[in-house]
Structure 1
Amino acid sequence: MNTELFISRRLFFEKGDKKFLSQKIIRIALVGIALGLAVMIVSVAVVTGFKREIRNKVIGFGSHIQVVNFDSNNSYETLPVSKKQSFLEELKTIYGVKNVQTFATKPGMIKTDEYIQGIVFKGADAGYDWTFFRNNLVEGELPAINDSVRSDEILLSGQVAKLLDVSVGDRVVLYFINEDENNPRMLQLSVCGLYNTSLEEFDNLFVLGDLQQVQRLNNWRSDQISGFEVTIADFNRIDAIEQEVRNAVLDYSIENDAILRTTNITREYPQIFDWLSILDMNVWVILFLMALVAGFNMISGLLVLILERSKMIGVLKALGSPNWSIRKVFLYLSAFLTSRGMLWGNAVGIAFIVIQHFGRVLKLNPATYYVDVVPVNFSLFHLLLLNIGTIVVTVLMLVIPSYFVSKISPERTIRFD
């Protein structure tokens, strides 16, 4: 039988001695622990949710991995590759790959009587996955694209539509310049829908339409495209999957054909993903500070407990209990008390996440934060780590203060009680 655990449980569940000063001190400490853990849960949920939202928006415009012409620069004016590649079937069998689709891009501009806006026309074919833009569609519908007839419909961002003073159903003129031509090429296309992701850098840039329009502008054949987009299931495995994709592309390379290279979204937009990685430091600072607050709160409570239980300590010493055994009693008791505070902290933190997720109570300025509401991400794994880390750190911080048990003399505590 664990005697120390038995004594600490009796002390924890005891109903008497409510006049002890320690009861009030402990309540204050437990409130501090509860608030600290709630802040940690909310901080991790908000930061991971924010990173996920921004990351998914960037990926929605360019996918996780791209396979393009090796000679293409990091611009939207690309050199063509053949869409009839022997490695495509193998790419679809790679573990973690969800979808492989073709795309083509062409930089240009939209001009009205009063405004002009630089854009990138991104062409899609009939097999394009429109899930991302469907979820962010605010008006109208997606372009109707098929492989037989060239579509004159385009999907425009609400930001650009507002700037150009156009709406769904209006026709706009797009201008494109080829390197070997003196006069720009024009396309008069119809706006079929408006999307809004709140990521202005991309909303102001991308116009979605038929891939055949890009082929026509670039004088490409019907089997020529800018490249392939590979969507994966787990972002954390992007480097490993890209390596497998690269190996498959190199193994099936055809002699005298265009040399292909692979790139992933983190290298395409390093400034965005570097900025998101910096947010992790903010979370660690918050976790460190909240853990210190919880630990010092319990230290003050433990010292008061030791002082008010000096008679009990003296009796245990008189009965032959060693100092470490008595210290364990108070460490167990502190762990029980900390767990009680953590219970309330979990309740408050999880309640906030649930209310914000379904009620979308806290709003943000999308022009500043790229999202219109505070995003939250509930992860059971993060919740377990926070709880385990809090109780471990708190108890470890109490080991040294529990040393005061050895300073209590059983002779004095029993004699003068």
Structure 2
Amino acid sequence: YLRNNKKIESFYPFATKPAIISANGEVEGINFKGIDSAYDWRFIQKHLLSGKIIDFKDKSVNQIMISDFTAKRLKLKAGDSFIMHFVQNPPKRKKFKIVGIYNVGIENIDKTFVLGDIDIIRNVNNWDANQMGGIEVRVKDFAKLRQTADDVYANLELKLRSRSVFESTPEIFTWLSLLDVNTKVLLALMMIVGVINMVTALLIMILERTTMIGLLKAMGISDGSVMNIFLYNALYLVGLGLILGNILGLGLAYLQHSTHIFKLNQTNYYLSYVPMEVHALDVIALNVATIIICALVLILPSLLVSRISPLKAIRFK
């Protein structure tokens, strides 16, 4: 079923086992995650700080990848070796060599997991070569994850069960949903402030040019044509502001994506830095929506032009 499901990108076996690392006079409790050569390394490779990924063909040493958090806690680096004690009765110990150090940036992962060969867990647990703790499934479209998870669950055998990432780490997605609400409120407030500023600017422009409006009307130019002059001028300012705002915003986004200059408290926010991902369609949609909303709102103050009497405007001057 997994091979034939077009919504699924990849899947691979895994197993986990609690263990304790002993190195440099320090100890650290972790969760050993065993994987095989089918594992999708793209995410880990993007966050690899030093070393390389595991070579499953090389069985001469027990290779392992640990997080930067664990490496700093135990004063380890790529190429170092340490002893790991697997929690069971009786306990078993094995020597490992660090081949790579990564930093995912998510506290729950960096503090908890290390990556190694699933055959090590099979050996410790006295499993057969085809036994595993579970199958990890990755979907092509994250927006359809819930639907895909329901489909997988519906096609499982009765003795098996499935859990989506929403169920295994609900606290992260609850936090993200709160951020979504904050983002919408923030965008709405920014739009309201922007509209008020543009309306105020247009009214000031009209009042400052009352005499000019009177002269144009006296020359026979229609109210609609005079209104268009001020609308085009206001929209020019909106467009200029959008260009400058896009340059500044996208520039900051690129700087953050490249350098992670804006840090977060990992304990409170699950992440060590503010992640940035720019979607061209979102940027275009936001710019177009801003122009349309401002154009519609600016029509009302521009109607003030029709109420200006040419005779009174010229006399006022």
Segment drifting more, 304-313 vs 290-299: 304-313
Question: Percent of pairs identical after alignment?
Answer: 35
Contact 1:172–1:189, Cα closer than 8 Å, also in 2: yes
Are 1:291 and 1:394, in contact at CA under 8 Å, matched by a contact in 2? Answer: no
Distance in 2 (CA, whole Å) between partners of 1:362 and 1:189 is 34
Which residue does the alignment assign to 2:304?
Answer: 404
- Structure 1 residue 413 corresponds to structure 2 residue 313: yes
Task: Please list the CA deviations of residues 36-95 of structure 1 after superposition, one character each: whole Å capped at 9, or x if unmatched.
Answer: xxxxxxxxxxxxxxxxxxxxxxxxxxxxxxxxxxxxxxxxxxxxxxxxxxx3xxx23322
- Report if aligned partners of 1:266, 1:273 keep a CA contact under 8 Å in 2: yes
Of 316, 327, 330, which aligns to 2:230?
A: 330
| Structure 2 counterpart of 1:152 | 62
Per the alignment, residue 161 of structure 1 pairs with 71
Are the aligned partners of 1:150 and 1:210 in contact in 2 as well (CA < 8 Å)? no
Residue deviations 1:239-261 (CA, integer Å, cap 9, x gap):
232233334x34xx4xxxx6222
Correspondence for 1:65? none
Instruction: Sort the Cα spacing of 1:328 and 1:274 in 2 relative to 1 into closer, same or farther, 3 A.
Output: same
* 1:163 shift after superposition: 2.4
| CA distance in 2 between partners of 1:135 and 1:416 (Å) | 68
How far apart, CA to CA, are the structure 2 residues paired with 1:149 and 1:242?
35
Distance 1:276 1:400, change over 3 A: same
1:186 corresponds to 2:93:
yes
TM-score (norm 2): 0.83
Query: Separation in 2 of the partners of 1:323 and 1:236?
Result: 50
TM-superposed CA distance for 1:214, in Å, is 1.5
Q: CA deviation at 1:370?
A: 5.7
Cα separation, partners in 2 of 1:245 and 1:121, compared to 1, 3 Å: same
Aligned-pair CA distance for 1:124:
1.1
Unaligned ranges ≥5, structure 1: 1-86
Alignment pair present for 1:342 and 2:253? no
Q: 1:399 to 1:196 in 2, by over 3 A?
A: same
Give SS of 1:306's match.
helix
Per-residue CA shift, 1:338-372, capped at 9, x if unaligned? 223323322333333344445x2724257466656
The 1:209–1:351 alpha-carbon spacing in structure 2 relative to 1, beyond 3 Å, is closer
1:108 partner SS:
strand
For residues 213 and 118 of structure 1, what CA distance do their matches in structure 2 show?
A: 18
Q: CA deviation at 1:282?
A: 2.8
Q: Distance in 2 between matches of 1:377 and 1:113?
A: 39
Q: 1:133 aligns with which of 23, 32, 44?
A: 44
- 1:47-86 equivalence runs, <5 A: none
Distance in 1 (alpha carbons) for counterparts of 2:251 and 2:33 = 42
1:220 & 1:243 partners in 2: Cα distance?
30
Relative to structure 1, the CA distance from residue 379 to residue 126 in structure 2 (aligned partners, 3 Å threshold; closer, same or farther) is: closer
Name the SS for the 2:199 alignment partner: helix
Counterpart Cα distance in 2 of 1:355 and 1:116:
37
**SS at 1:224's partner residue?**
coil
- Spell out the pairing of 1:89-104 with structure 2 (5 A cutoff): 91-104=2-15
Deviation at 1:294, TM superposition (A): 2.1
- The alignment's C-alpha RMSD in Å is 3.1
Partner Cα separation in structure 1 for residue 109 and residue 41 of structure 2? 16
Partner of 1:234: 141
Which ranges of structure 2 fall in alignment gaps of 5 or more residues? Answer: none
Q: Which residue of structure 2 aligns with residue 260 of structure 1?
A: 160
The whole-number CA distance in structure 1 between the counterparts of 2:224 and 2:3 is 61
Cα distance in 1 for residues equivalent to 2:248 and 2:91: 61
**C-alpha distance in 2, partners of 1:414/1:339?**
32
Per-residue deviation at 1:235?
1.4
Q: Relative contact order (C-alpha < 8 Å, sep 6+): which is higher? A: 1
Structure 1 match to 2:54: 143
Q: Give matches, 1:271-310, under 5 Å.
A: 271-310=171-210
Which residue pairs with 1:34 in the alignment?
none
**In structure 1, distance between residues paired with 2:260 and 2:159:** 51
The AA in structure 1 aligned to 2:201 is G
- Structure 2: distance between partners of 1:315 and 1:158: 72
Give the letter aligned to residue 186 of structure 1. R
Corresponding residue for residue 261 of structure 2 = 362
